Amino acid sequence: MEVGVNEDAQVLPPTPFIAPRPIICYGTSITQGGCASRPGMAYTNILSRWLNREVINLGFSGNGWGDEALAQCMAEISNPGCFVLDYEANAHRERLQETLVPFIGVLRAAHPTVPILVISRIRFSYELIHADSLEGREACKAFQQETVTALRAQGDTHIHFLDGSIILGEDWEECTVDGVHPTDLGFRRMAEGMAPVLRQLIG
């Protein structure tokens, strides 16, 4: 294999990020970037470019269950800038209700003032024909929002909620490969919805 470069080309270190504290995103195959045309089009990587921050992608296809072991691993990452929890799509209602508060608790014990952003899932096409799926998403969204509200009322002013059902826009059905996993368009819409919120949280 040969690689052609200009005669005066140089191999230099990358431009440093604007700040050393990474954004850590935990979630599912959606977080992982499944169905993006290339790695750079996962929403985490788009956010990294736009925010000029390192974004650590902890998306696990089919396995974003809110396991406490993952929270413990995340808590061990030094000097985090923000935690993003986006795992509803795998956990569903019962598992989410069992794990969300303990998961947050592990992160909070290690990092009392680091922002935590809880995101409810994007809309899925089969909600249009399966009422129980729509009902489940609405219940999960309400639970996450109520959890964040309760924790803030208890004094945690560094935890926040984002309604993921609106971030793909009004033509959300145009933004996925299979009614679930975003295309490049869908990932860009997710990044557009999340970037302003994260800018406020990380300064």
Q: Helices 184-202 and 43-51, interaxial angle, to 10°?
A: 40
pLDDT tens for each residue of 100-140: 999 999 999 999 999 999 999 999 988 888 888 899 999 99
DSSP structure string for 42-79: SHHHHHHHHHTS-EEEEE-TTT----HHHHHHHHTSSS
pLDDT tens for each residue of 31-58: 999 999 999 999 999 999 999 999 999 9
* Structure confidence at residue 133 (pLDDT): 87
CATH classification code of 23-202: 3.40.50.1110
pLDDT tens for each residue of 70-98: 999 999 999 999 999 999 999 989 999 99
